[in-house]
């Protein structure tokens, strides 16, 4: 029998959840905020006095817990698949989809129309909620569709999401798929408060929703006004799944999950198109952002019959709206330097409201695109924005061009670091040649330098690099080797043990190879394979740095573009200075071995591996060949010297025989390795 305290706690929880639904879901509150706060404080007090009565589904558990070190991974029992987007955003979008469905179901013109459900395409963050026996036990992001991030603590703070389903006999497992979003009014209020407090603001509601869920402090998520709509299922156990998608949505709503009421059951393409047209006219008046509608075959048996293609369901499609456009003028054109050194011209616009936000900047992509559209400063232009896409200038209204309109000229020097700006023959983009020194490229350069196939500094990930650069403690890769324990330990989420692990990894990275070091420099167009060829050919770093474009093109597979990228990189004194600092810090490799490359037994020979080897994996075979000076490629050509053919060899073996290239079976290959000194 329940005690008086237990009864009061149960009544308070039920009453608070009822008021949460009226306030957050129905937008029809029954009591004032002060009255609600009084009920909430009473519940908090009773639970504090009787901690044994606290349950995970109590409304007080939405306030957030301790900050997380990182998100754990969650493997989805049923993959969270993406829905195909209909590329024809006109009227044909619905017709094309209906035609495909009817064709795949082998329906003729005399057969009845297919039944669909038409819903809104929300502009938020896809989420999966797992309920076990009615209790919310896990929430995960989509991730790559197979594996997402465990964001349960943050999702618990979303008041529209029930912590317990409203059912006396809930399923053993019910996995609900849906979208977390932020209403426009909530977004505007949140940004105003954040700006007033000097905190980060967001560009649009979608970024605000995603950023709130994907940050590590649940207490911060609890203070952000997020909402939720359910729109589908994942895994289920102990539940008789309804026969149609529309019945599933009704069942989810009956369990207390918010389901958008703006949905219809449609018969055939004409009714789908009518829904699309109606919603598009109402789009700007909706309280949240959408960028289209979604069509789904209603009958689940037909869904199963249609199946999937390329991991997309054949029975569903997203029919987007046409991009929104507006007219404004260009007040200036400036250049932004991206993290890879690309220079992008950006139009500074007179503020204009388009696509749900006020736009003040628009990308001009590159110089060639700017010239093709003949965009000039002070022009009147059409600006387009679709969903979360960066606004762009569609075209110039030449009839409105003023006499003082000015042509834009790309700068010759990087506006961030002052290095020379270059454009390679096969590229449309101008790039800064500052590389290791340029502040705009700093974070990307450091992440590449520390990556597994470069200097392999374990633990030096994106978040740590962000902090090191933002604190201005690290400006070039050479600065990594100057960091001490006390400096690292000051950083967020970085205790003394974690800091020491990173320092140990940095120290270990000093012992590397010339090929890895060349790759780590991040020279444009120099990938891992090219770095190995350069190391083999030049043997020492000094030889490599001294090579001109002609000498560089003696190296296998290096043409004029790659040669120019390399010489341009070393022409910048800043880059040479960073390399000198790295060597002074103790980064080294066995030069005596590199100098012996010229006499490696398989130097210059090109191998192709095909089929399965019994004695070793293909990757092991590749490493052994490369250690002997050979180069391993993925395709057979006239330049190939040997093809190593294991069991079940296919087209590569046939092509080698056709071209008369030497073919080694596994025993012959092992003998070659032994004769070359490889045990």
In tens, the pLDDT along 613-652 reads 888 888 888 888 877 878 888 888 888 999 999 888 888 8
Burial 393-421 (b: 16+ CB within 10 A, else e): beebeeeeeeeebeebeeeeebebbebeb
CATH 3.40.50.10190 matches 600-675: yes
Give the global pTM.
Answer: 0.51
**What pLDDT is stored for residue 425 in this prediction?**
72
510 pLDDT above the threshold of 90: yes
Confidence of residue 404 (pLDDT cuts 50, 70, 90): very high
Q: Is 628 helix (H, G, I), strand (E, B) or coil?
A: coil
What one-character-per-residue DSSP string does 332-379 give? EEEEEE-TTSEEEEEEEEEEEEETTEEEEEEE--SHHHHHHHT--BT-
529 pLDDT above the threshold of 80: yes
> Which residue intervals of the chain bear CATH 3.30.470.30?
85-320
> Which residue intervals of the chain bear CATH 1.10.287.610?
4-63
**What pLDDT is stored for residue 62 in this prediction?**
62
- CATH classification number, 85-320, choose in 3.30.470.30, 3.40.50.720, 3.30.479.10, 3.40.50.300: 3.30.470.30
> Which residue intervals of the chain bear CATH 2.40.50.140?
324-400
Q: Between 23 and 449, whose confidence is greater?
A: 449
Task: Enter the tokens of residue 568.
Answer: 């341009």
CA 611 – CA 593 distance, rounded (Å): 32
List, in sequence order, every residue forming a beta bridge with 277; answer none if it has no partner. none
60 pLDDT above the threshold of 80: no
**What pLDDT is stored for residue 33 in this prediction?**
60
Identify the CATH class of 4-63: mainly alpha
CA 6 – CA 226 distance, rounded (Å): 31
CA 418 – CA 437 distance, rounded (Å): 10
Active site residue ranges? 121
Task: Enter the tokens of residue 397.
Answer: 């209204």
Confidence of residue 25 (pLDDT cuts 50, 70, 90): low
> Which residue intervals of the chain bear CATH 1.10.150.20?
412-599
Confidence of residue 29 (pLDDT cuts 50, 70, 90): low
323 pLDDT above the threshold of 60: yes
CA 323 – CA 465 distance, rounded (Å): 37
CA 205 – CA 183 distance, rounded (Å): 7
Q: Between 178 and 528, whose confidence is greater?
A: 178
Confidence of residue 67 (pLDDT cuts 50, 70, 90): very low
Q: 645 and 664 in contact (C-beta within 8 Å)? A: yes
If residue 508 lies in a helix (H) or strand (E), which one and from where to where?
helix 496-508
Q: Between 114 and 8, whose confidence is greater?
A: 114
20 pLDDT above the threshold of 80: no
Phi-psi domain of 669 (left: phi exceeds 0; alpha: psi -120 through 50; beta: other): alpha
Question: Rounded to an integer, what is the distance from CA 513 to the centroid of its chain?
Answer: 31
- Give the helix ranges, DSSP H, for 511-558: 514-520, 528-538, 541-546, 549-552
Task: Enter the tokens of residue 233.
Answer: 């299922």
Q: Between 570 and 205, whose confidence is greater?
A: 570
Confidence of residue 43 (pLDDT cuts 50, 70, 90): confident
Give 578-627 pLDDT, tens digit per residue.
999 999 999 999 865 444 444 567 877 889 999 888 888 888 888 888 77
Q: How many percent of the chain have pLDDT more than 70? A: 92
Q: Is 269 helix (H, G, I), strand (E, B) or coil?
A: helix
**What pLDDT is stored for residue 595 in this prediction?**
44
CA 421 – CA 270 distance, rounded (Å): 54
Phi-psi domain of 237 (left: phi exceeds 0; alpha: psi -120 through 50; beta: other): beta
State the DSSP code for 625.
H
Give 169-226 pLDDT, tens digit per residue.
999 999 999 999 999 888 888 888 888 877 777 767 887 888 888 776 777 777 888 9
Average pLDDT along the chain: 86
What one-character-per-residue DSSP string does 50-110 give? -GGG--TTSGGGGG--SPPSSPPEEE-SS--PPPPEES--STHHHHHHHHHHHHHTT--TT
Task: Enter the tokens of residue 641.
Answer: 């010297």
Task: Enter the tokens of residue 162.
Answer: 């029930």
Q: Which CATH architecture has domain 324-400?
A: Beta Barrel (2.40)
> Which residue intervals of the chain bear CATH 3.40.50.10190?
600-675
If residue 237 lies in a helix (H) or strand (E), which one and from where to where?
strand 227-237
What one-character-per-residue DSSP string does 578-615 give? HHHHHHHTT-B--HHHHHGGGG-TTTT-EEEEESB-SS
Report strand pairing: 421-422 vs 430-432.
antiparallel
Q: What is the CATH number of domain 412-599?
A: 1.10.150.20
Task: Give the mean model confidence (pLDDT) for residues 442-457.
Answer: 88
Burial 590-617 (b: 16+ CB within 10 A, else e): eeeebeebeebebeebbbbbbbebeebe
State the DSSP code for 478.
G
Length in residues, the chain: 679
Report strand pairing: 631-633 vs 606-610.
parallel
Q: Is the dihedral of CA 131, 133, 134, 135 positive or negative?
A: negative
- Cα 135 to Cα 139, 148, 609, distances in angstroms: 12, 20, 53
**What pLDDT is stored for residue 594 in this prediction?**
44
Give 103-148 pLDDT, tens digit per residue.
999 998 889 999 999 999 998 889 999 999 999 999 999 887 888 8
CA 444 – CA 141 distance, rounded (Å): 25
253 pLDDT above the threshold of 80: yes
- Cα 485 to Cα 451, 463, 490, 501, distances in angstroms: 21, 18, 9, 10
**What pLDDT is stored for residue 607 in this prediction?**
92
């Amino acid at each position: 029998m329940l005690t008086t305290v237990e009864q009061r706690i149960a009544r308070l929880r039920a009453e608070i959840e009822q008021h949460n639904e009226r306030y957050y879901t129905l937008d029809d509150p029954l009591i004032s905020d002060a009255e609600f706060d009084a009920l909430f404080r009473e519940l908090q007090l009773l639970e504090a006095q009787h901690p044994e009565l606290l349950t995970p589904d109590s409304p007080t558990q939405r306030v957030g817990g301790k900050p997380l070190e990182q998100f754990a991974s969650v493997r989805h029992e049923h993959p969270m698949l993406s829905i195909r987007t209909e590329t024809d955003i006109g009227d044909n979008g619905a017709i094309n989809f209906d035609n495909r469905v009817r064709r795949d179901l082998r329906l003729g013109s005399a057969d009845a129309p297919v039944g669909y459900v038409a819903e809104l395409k929300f502009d938020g963050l896809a989420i999966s909620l797992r309920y076990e026996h009615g209790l919310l036990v896990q929430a995960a992001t989509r991730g790559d569709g197979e594996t997402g991030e465990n964001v349960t603590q943050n999702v618990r703070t979303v008041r529209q999401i029930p912590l317990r389903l409203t059912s006396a006999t809930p399923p053993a497992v019910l996995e609900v798929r849906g979208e977390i979003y932020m209403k426009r009014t909530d977004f505007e209020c949140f940004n105003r408060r954040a700006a007033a407090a000097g905190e980060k603001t967001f560009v649009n509601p979608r970024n605000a929703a995603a950023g709130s869920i994907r940050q590590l402090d649940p207490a911060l998520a609890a203070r952000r006004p997020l909402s939720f709509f359910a729109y589908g299922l994942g895994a289920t156990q102990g539940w008789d799944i309804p026969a149609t998608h529309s019945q599933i949505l009704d069942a989810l709503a009956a369990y207390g999950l918010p389901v958008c009421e703006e949905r219809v059951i449609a018969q055939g393409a004409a009714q789908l198109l009518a829904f699309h047209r109606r919603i598009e006219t109402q789009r700007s008046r909706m309280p949240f952002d959408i960028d289209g509608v979604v069509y789904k075959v209603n009958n689940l048996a037909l869904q199963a019959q249609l199946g999937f293609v390329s991991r997309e369901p054949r029975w569903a499609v997203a029919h987007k709206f046409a991009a929104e456009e507006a007219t404004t003028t260009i007040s200036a054109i400036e250049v932004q330097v991206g993290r890879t050194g690309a220079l992008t011209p950006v139009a500074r616009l007179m503020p204009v409201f388009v696509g749900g936000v006020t736009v003040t900047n628009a990308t001009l992509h590159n110089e060639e695109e700017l010239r093709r559209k003949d965009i000039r400063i002070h022009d009147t232009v059409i600006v387009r924005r679709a969903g979360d896409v960066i606004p762009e200038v569609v075209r110039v209204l030449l009839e409105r061009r003023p006499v003082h309109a000015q042509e834009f000229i790309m700068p010759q020097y990087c506006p961030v670091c002052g290095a020379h700006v270059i454009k390679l023959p096969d590229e449309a983009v101008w790039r800064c040649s500052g590389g290791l020194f340029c502040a705009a490229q700093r974070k990307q350069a450091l992440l590449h330098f520390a990556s597994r196939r470069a200097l392999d500094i374990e633990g030096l990930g994106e978040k740590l690099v962000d902090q090191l650069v933002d604190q201005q403690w690290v400006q070039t890769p050479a600065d990594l080797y100057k960091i001490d324990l006390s400096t690292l330990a000051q950083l967020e989420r970085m205790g003394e043990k974690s800091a020491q692990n990173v320092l140990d990894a940095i120290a270990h990275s000093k012992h590397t190879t010339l090929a890895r070091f060349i790759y780590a420099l991040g020279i444009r167009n120099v990938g891992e394979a090219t770095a190995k060829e350069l190391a083999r050919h030049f043997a020492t770093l000094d030889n490599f740095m001294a090579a001109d474009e002609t000498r560089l093109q003696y190296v296998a597979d290096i043409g004029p573009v790659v040669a120019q990228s390399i010489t341009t990189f070393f022409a910048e004194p800043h880059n040479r200075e960073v390399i000198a600092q790295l060597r002074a810090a103790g980064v080294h490799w066995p030069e005596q071995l590199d100098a012996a490359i010229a006499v490696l037994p398989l130097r210059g020979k090109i191998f192709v591996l095909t089929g399965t080897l019994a004695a070793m994996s293909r990757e092991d075979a590749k490493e052994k060949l490369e250690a002997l000076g050979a180069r391993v490629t993925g395709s057979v050509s006239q330049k190939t010297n040997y093809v190593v053919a294991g069991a079940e060899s296919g087209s590569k073996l046939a092509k080698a025989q056709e071209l008369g290239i030497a073919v080694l079976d596994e025993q012959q290959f092992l003998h070659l390795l032994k004769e070359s000194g490889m045990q």
